[in-house]
Structure 1
Amino acid sequence: MDALLLSRIQFGFVISFHILFPAFTIGLANWLAFVAWRALRTGDSTWRDLYFFWLKIFAISFGMGVVSGIVMSFQFGTNWAQLTERAGNIMGPIMSYEVLTAFFLEASFLGVMLFGWKRVSQRMHFFATCMVALGTLISMFWILSANSWMHTPAGYKIVNGVFEPANWWQIVFNPSFPYRLTHMALAAFITTCFVVGGVSARYLLRGEHIEQAKRMLRYAVAFAAITVPMQILVGDLHGLEVHEYQPTKLAAMEAHWRSEGEGKGVPLVLFAVPNEAAERNDYEIAIPRLGSIILTHSWDGEILPLTAVPPELRPPVAPVFYAFRVMVGIGFAMLALVAASAWAWQRKRLFESRWILKGWRLMTFAGFVAILAGWYTTEIGRQPWVIYGLLRTSDALSPNITAAAVLSSLIAYMLVYAIVFGAGTWYIFKLVRKGPQPHEPAPTGEGGNKRPMRPLSVGNEQPDEIREARS
């Protein structure tokens, strides 16, 4: 448990919290934009009630994402100073572009979205919601660009050991960026789909908020029916990119130790216990040649085996192998549930089928688990490199940092996160238990009440006009 390992654990702990909230808010912001559009177009109060129900959840999730992101950025200076010194000329500007574009956009319209219901027109409020949704997507664009460059560096030159930009177009749109951006965007949308569907299934099973729940489940199934198959296709294309640019990571994902021989292809390992000391898999269950078909799209295609590189250049095999299978397994479970739901919908039994509803309730948080599993696959699979093939993780560590300092800060993070995120999550669950509540329409005409709304209250909020009349 030296400073290097503890720093890696600390960064992994912090980013595991951070990635969940932005991913959820990206999908939720776009869901809110859709709901706001339906409310504006139809004038239906049910859509308005759903908008403000999910707006409260979005506000809490957005706040927790910002807090965890600020903490994560400090670690680049405290724990990974060598990475900042050597790659800061490339990563620094990309991160600043996120601030100058996404953060300014979100900051400009988030207040209108949260507090402007009684102060601006409905069209302006809808526009503010769309701008916040756009801001989340722009933020994801720059973050994924910086992270993807660390996986597939391009457009750089090295001067006295320091990475200098040579072609910003190649840096931003590096080889893995289009696949990783699309993969992450779809993951965010799918995660939100299953949260919305799971919450609606809970209400239907309990006989609560029936009209709102039916509407949410119907659109969750529709959106998931589009995004889940797309995600599987994008994942396949992403795998081909990993095969080309990060073959050792792919070998770890498949626990592929040795070539089967010329013309014999690569088996698909369904289950195994990777034995890194003996460089083999124990208790292996595999299907011959299927790995070649999936990984290379050919009958006898080959991938680089783990034994082709020295042990010190291999990533930890077991966590990459298992995390990848968790992600893929959840993806196909989602596909099966969506297919069954579409079939039940076509037979007009979607809202009455208890096993379909229980499936959605069971899969409410499946998207979060899949995101973490996918993130662990790609980040642990990159090891021992922090910039793939160019800068080792051990060389990126801050000099003179001690294990005691990292351990103490890690314990502090755990305690603070348990309190802050525990309280935030508890409040979100409280909002969900309360469910969508009737919300007052926006004032019309001149002289309407211009007092800003309070978006985070759980209890039934009566309109100001009613309270004033009663008083």
Structure 2
Amino acid sequence: MLDAALLSRIQFAFTISYHIIFPTITIGMAVYLAIMEGLWLKTGRKVYLQQAKFWQKPFAITFGMGVVSGVVLSYEFGTNFSRFSEIVGPVLSPLLSYEVLTAFFLEAGFLGIMLFGWKRVSPRVHFASTLIVAVGTLLSAFWILAANSWMHTPAGYTIVDGQFHPENWMDIIFNPSFPYRYFHMVIASLLSSSLLIAGVHALYLLRGKHREFAKVGLSFAMWVLMVVAPVQILVGDLHGLNVLENQPVKLAAMEGIWETHSGVGLRLFAIPDQENATNHYEVILPKAASLILTHEADGEIQGLDAVPADERPPVGVVFFGFRVMVGLGFLMLILGLFGVYARLRGRLYDHPILLRFAVAMIPSGVIATLAGWYVVEVGRQPWLVQGLVRTMDVVSPIPAEQVATSLTLFVVVYTLLFGTYLYFMRKLIRKGPAESVGQDGNVSTPEDLLPVTLNPD
């Protein structure tokens, strides 16, 4: 028989997984556009102008997809999890409203100028608009992550007649997990967009097209990877320590630790068996998990046995999702280091292995982000608000058949939309920048700016 609660959870997981792909790219790409346009204004080099104009089209398409897919999520709270809206509405509704009133209004208000204002406003006004859009994307992530983090580490509230009410807004917004999760997400967005930009420019170099244009984009993206990838590993480690303190059950699922004990080994690989509360085919580094998480080789780490079986998350999803995220993160670091090596050897733009590696890594940022979200959200289950509200208790009383129908429609429509998105992205990338650049790559007057349209032809 169909289970309305399970189908509702699957539907929300599917729609939010689809949605998160697009903000992951647009946050970092908006920053890239602002930097390129600023460099053009400062140096007058036409190649920076080309970068800004070329990448605005993929940004616009991706931004539009993010807006459309994000609107659906707010409705799902009411249709599929109505009790949740009633219980936490006084806390979460204002946070989501602030996202609309600040971030979304900034983005919507200045996006038109950014896309279509090249010959209608001065270069400095246009740059200011691009900068404001970039700030808007960061603000949007701020409010969304504040609301989501509160569900993981609730603070600053009081419960009156079974409903959460705000008591201290600063504690609600800056709850214990928020700073770590916000910076982790922003850095993930920078990595995702940098990998896309590096891969596309590497593809141009492999095909011998748009070489001067591609050199600038690849060089910049590789520097970002080299700087940001190790920072992400550090922030991820700090985030892990925060999870150990505030959500030890999630941490135990991430590491596949079933029993509380000291001197815990780091499981490089295992197949978790939730029914029997054990792992199969373990590959372990002795005492490494305790050393990393407690800074003591014999430090104690709480296992999944600290809570009843019905309060444990689906361990397999969390365990493997965490390893996918971490594994891809180290591949990003390797790519960044490879770029430094090739740069020092004077081979950054013609090293075939590096260029093919960069192309292969294009989707890795998005995949790692999705894996990280599965770790975070599945690892919190069975709680919707950690330790206070169970997911199963707030599901709307609607027929399972209706949820199955809507889920099917979402899968069909979103698959078609994603296929269309990939088609236009591929078309824009194959077309390349509007015009070639000479060896000097210089421009002296703003009259060389051309209007930007969303038509890839």
Q: TM-score, normalised by structure 2?
A: 0.96
Matches within 5 A, 1:240-279: 240-260=241-261, 264-279=262-277
What is aligned with 1:424? 421
For 1:241, the aligned partner's letter is N
What is aligned with 1:344? 342
For residues 315 and 172 of structure 1, what CA distance do their matches in structure 2 show?
Answer: 26
For 1:361, the aligned partner's letter is V
Matched, 1:436 2:437: no
State the Cα deviation string for residues 160-190 of structure 1 (Å, max 9, x = none): 0000001001000000000000000000000
What is aligned with 1:219? 220
What is aligned with 1:463? none
For 2:289, the aligned partner's letter is G
Matched, 1:359 2:319: no
Instruction: Give the CA deviation at 1:351.
Output: 1.2
Instruction: Determine if contact 2:260/2:305 at 8 Å carries over to the other structure.
Output: no
Instruction: Determine if contact 2:44/2:444 at 8 Å carries over to the other structure.
Output: no
For residues 61 and 333 of structure 2, what CA distance do their matches in structure 1 show?
Answer: 29
For residues 203 and 454 of structure 1, what CA distance do their matches in structure 2 show?
Answer: 22
Instruction: Give the CA deviation at 1:72.
Output: 1.1
**Which secondary structure state, in structure 1, belongs to the residue aligned with residue 349 of structure 2?**
coil
Identity %: 52
Distance change in 2, residues 1:444/1:436 (3 Å): closer
What is aligned with 1:397? 395
What is aligned with 1:171? 172
For 2:353, the aligned partner's letter is W
What is aligned with 2:453? 455
For residues 387 and 64 of structure 1, what CA distance do their matches in structure 2 show?
Answer: 29
For 1:375, the aligned partner's letter is W
What is aligned with 2:184? 183
Distance change in 2, residues 1:444/1:369 (3 Å): closer
Matched, 1:11 2:12: yes
Matched, 1:128 2:129: yes
State the Cα deviation string for residues 138-163 of structure 1 (Å, max 9, x = none): 00000000000000000000000000
**Which secondary structure state, in structure 1, belongs to the residue aligned with residue 380 of structure 2?**
coil
Matched, 1:370 2:368: yes
What is aligned with 1:92? 93
For 2:431, the aligned partner's letter is K
Instruction: Determine if contact 2:183/2:235 at 8 Å carries over to the other structure.
Output: yes
For residues 39 and 245 of structure 1, what CA distance do their matches in structure 2 show?
Answer: 46
What is aligned with 2:306? 308
Instruction: Determine if contact 1:52/1:439 at 8 Å carries over to the other structure.
Output: no
For 2:259, the aligned partner's letter is R
Matches within 5 A, 1:102-117: 102-117=103-118
Instruction: Determine if contact 2:318/2:374 at 8 Å carries over to the other structure.
Output: yes
Instruction: Determine if contact 1:55/1:455 at 8 Å carries over to the other structure.
Output: no
For 1:119, the aligned partner's letter is R
Instruction: Determine if contact 1:117/1:442 at 8 Å carries over to the other structure.
Output: no
What is aligned with 1:296? 294
Instruction: Give the CA deviation at 1:93.
Output: 0.2
For residues 290 and 327 of structure 2, what CA distance do their matches in structure 1 show?
Answer: 19
**Which secondary structure state, in structure 1, belongs to the residue aligned with residue 191 of structure 2?**
helix
RMSD: 1.7
Distance change in 2, residues 1:444/1:193 (3 Å): closer
Instruction: Give the CA deviation at 1:296.
Output: 1.8
What is aligned with 2:410? 413
For 2:326, the aligned partner's letter is V
For 2:387, the aligned partner's letter is G
Instruction: Give the CA deviation at 1:336.
Output: 1.1
What is aligned with 2:76? 75
Q: TM-score, normalised by structure 1?
A: 0.93
**Which one is further off, 369-378 or 412-421?**
412-421
For 1:363, the aligned partner's letter is M
**Which one is further off, 244-253 or 299-308?**
299-308
What is aligned with 2:316? 318
Instruction: Give the CA deviation at 1:235.
Output: 0.3
Instruction: Give the CA deviation at 1:439.
Output: 9.0
**Which secondary structure state, in structure 1, belongs to the residue aligned with residue 269 of structure 2?**
strand
Runs of at least 5 residues in structure 1 that lack an aligned partner in the other structure: 460-471
For residues 302 and 44 of structure 1, what CA distance do their matches in structure 2 show?
Answer: 57
State the Cα deviation string for residues 67-107 of structure 1 (Å, max 9, x = none): 00001111011001111000000000000001110011112
Matched, 1:281 2:279: yes
Distance change in 2, residues 1:342/1:454 (3 Å): closer
State the Cα deviation string for residues 371-393 of structure 1 (Å, max 9, x = none): 00000000000000000000000
What is aligned with 2:64? 63
For residues 407 and 295 of structure 2, what CA distance do their matches in structure 1 show?
Answer: 44
State the Cα deviation string for residues 204-254 of structure 1 (Å, max 9, x = none): 111111111111111011111111010000000000000000000000001
For residues 301 and 158 of structure 1, what CA distance do their matches in structure 2 show?
Answer: 36
Instruction: Determine if contact 2:118/2:452 at 8 Å carries over to the other structure.
Output: no
Matched, 1:239 2:266: no
Instruction: Give the CA deviation at 1:421.
Output: 2.4
For 1:35, the aligned partner's letter is M
Instruction: Give the CA deviation at 1:457.
Output: 2.2
Runs of at least 5 residues in structure 2 that lack an aligned partner in the other structure: 438-442
For residues 258 and 343 of structure 2, what CA distance do their matches in structure 1 show?
Answer: 46
Q: How many residues align?
A: 451
Instruction: Give the CA deviation at 1:259.
Output: 3.3
For residues 268 and 420 of structure 2, what CA distance do their matches in structure 1 show?
Answer: 39
Instruction: Determine if contact 1:48/1:439 at 8 Å carries over to the other structure.
Output: no
For residues 283 and 216 of structure 1, what CA distance do their matches in structure 2 show?
Answer: 44
Instruction: Give the CA deviation at 1:46.
Output: 1.4
State the Cα deviation string for residues 345-365 of structure 1 (Å, max 9, x = none): 112111121111111011011
Matches within 5 A, 1:382-393: 382-393=380-391
Instruction: Determine if contact 2:256/2:272 at 8 Å carries over to the other structure.
Output: yes
